[in-house]
Amino acid sequence: MSSDPIIGLMVRSRRLEIAEVEADRLRKRLGRNLVGIGVFGSVGRGDDRTGSDIDLVVVAQSQVKIKSRVVSGIPVTFLPLTPEGAREEVYGSRKDLNVALGGWRSLKPLYDPTKFLARLRQRAFHPRPLQFRRASQKALVETFEDLGKLRNAIEAKDRDEMREMAIWFTDGAMGALFDLERFVLATGRRAFVEAHRFGRIGEAMRRLRYDDRSPAEASSLAEAIWSDLIARANRQGIRLPELLLKRPRDVRPPGSRLAVAERFVRGVQRREGSNLIAAGLYGSVAAGEDRKHSDIDLFLMFRVRREYPRIIVFGGSLVSISPRDPTEVRGEIEHAWNRPESLSGWRSMRILHDPSGLLRRSVAWSRRPSEGAFNRAVVKNLLEGYEYLGKLGKAARANDPEETREMAIWFSASAMFAALCLERHVVETGPRLFAELRDVGPLGRAICRLRYESQGVADTAELATRIWSSLLARARQEGLPLPRGLTRAPGTSLDGS
């Protein structure tokens, strides 16, 4: 018998019945606005086990907000979509198309009077090749952003930042690989386990993600992975910006990224006119600390929200675009789950266009965050962390070291944000999240060990349990109103008893 509480985190229950009760509750609440409700993931497939959570997609005519819940000790998470958003997931070409299609293939409709969900599920089994080609193009452009961050960390010989950027880069690289190969995962948590089927590139991703490498070794692995992805794209005739095809030594940053940002904003002003309320630059370029492979982070505020590609190449630089309307700005400052990172972006903001002063006031507001905003972020991250803790426990019970290792990375991200929010700590920059976490005491250092150090299944489970107990204890000390399910005592044995 094991004394490890995570191993028996959740008692097996009738999750489908709980999903049906939740669906009935939402039917009464949403009324005619509701189009359909379905359960996806392990419960939708019928292979849920102790530790499984419940994932519900809720399609409504207009966008709705539904909070995650814990029911009978089981996390219940909701994916609210409009009909247009649901169609886009199945018919469109979002990056990580493989993930979206995998979710829809597992869908079990619970309320679907017009068969809308059933038709989308059926279509998810027959994607067009063009969808994957376009998804691959988006995935590669977005992954190049994280490759740049990794290259900067390697060139600076900053091992802390390098270790974290290796995780960011391999996340995107694996998704791009699956889209290029038109491979649809049954479940996202198995992504790096499934890497074995792709030979050397899959093994290179796993080594870069999980092993502590020297800067030279990390560089060699990252560039080999990127070269392989580009070669696969070239064989399919996928057109990519020239910047993505250059070797690191051939990259020549523009003379002034600030000038590039200002030129881009002037173009938006000409197109949008008075619809553009404000524009700002944040991140390393705004702080004057950009390096050879840095991207440009732009914030655009519109009266009527406009959709822009998340990342484009402009003026020889990679430009990340964050479009918002005023309501979204207020919501982001007051309700962002990733407050330690989000607020750092706001505080670094360099204003490029702000005739009404709204952006200036928003930046000032971000410097006076409320206690309640941090507390809400703690609870959100604990809810998500509880879900990932269940997945970790499920992998540990199956004695699956590979999945246990990956779930430790997933859980540590939520634990990190919860810990930093409890400390009211706003980081200097996103890539330094875990580097700064080490400075907040033993809990921070334990979360870093869980994220970066490969350990046995039992040791990983024990460490995750200690972290979880510490987070709950800190939250109680702060007097936070935790959902009842989060405070339930977990089981104590390998068989979940």
* Range 5-127 classified under CATH 3.30.460.10: yes
3-state SS track over 208-263: HHHCCCCHHHHHHHHHHHHHHHHHHHHHCCCCCCHHHHCCHHHCCCCCCHHHHHHH
Confirm if 240 and 137 have CB atoms less than 8 A apart: yes
Sign, CA torsion 246/249/255/261: positive
Q: Which residues does residue 193 pair with via DSSP β-bridges, in sequence order?
A: none
What rounded mean pLDDT belongs to the chain?
91
pLDDT for position 5 = 46
Q: Which of 48-52, 220-224, 309-313 has the highest mean pLDDT?
A: 220-224
The answer to whether residue 241 scores a pLDDT higher than 80 is: yes
492: helix, strand or coil:
coil
Candidates 3.30.70.20, 3.30.460.10, 3.30.56.10, 1.10.357.10; correct CATH number of 257-366?
3.30.460.10
| pTM more than 0.85 | yes
Q: Do domains 130-238 and 257-366 have the same CATH topology?
A: no
CATH of the structural domain 130-238, one choice from 3.40.1710, 1.10.287, 1.10.760, 1.20.120: 1.20.120
- pLDDT tens track for 349-358: 999 999 999 9
What ranges in 83-212 are assigned the alpha helix state H?
Answer: 83-91, 97-105, 116-124, 129-155, 159-181, 199-210
What gap in Å lies between CA 303 and CA 293, rounded to an integer? 33
Q: Which CATH class is domain 371-484?
A: mainly alpha
pLDDT above 90 (res 428):
no
Task: Name the DSSP letter for residue 426.
Answer: P
107/237 Cα distance (integer angstroms): 33
**Domain range summary for the chain, segments of one domain joined by +:** 5-127, 130-238, 257-366, 371-484
Nearest to 340 by CA among 381, 286, 388: 381
Q: Which residue has the higher pLDDT, 96 or 91?
A: 91
**Residue 72: its pLDDT value, please?**
87
Please say whether the beta carbons of 381 and 397 come within 8 A. Answer: no
pLDDT tens digit sequence for 160-213: 999 999 999 999 999 999 999 999 988 888 899 998 899 999 999 999 999 999
The one-letter amino acid at 422 = L
Q: For residue range 365-383, list pLDDT tens digits in order.
A: 888 888 888 999 999 999 9
Which residue's entry shows tokens 């492979």? 293
Q: How far apart are CA 355 and CA 348, in angstroms?
A: 19
Is the pLDDT at 431 greater than 90, yes or no?
no
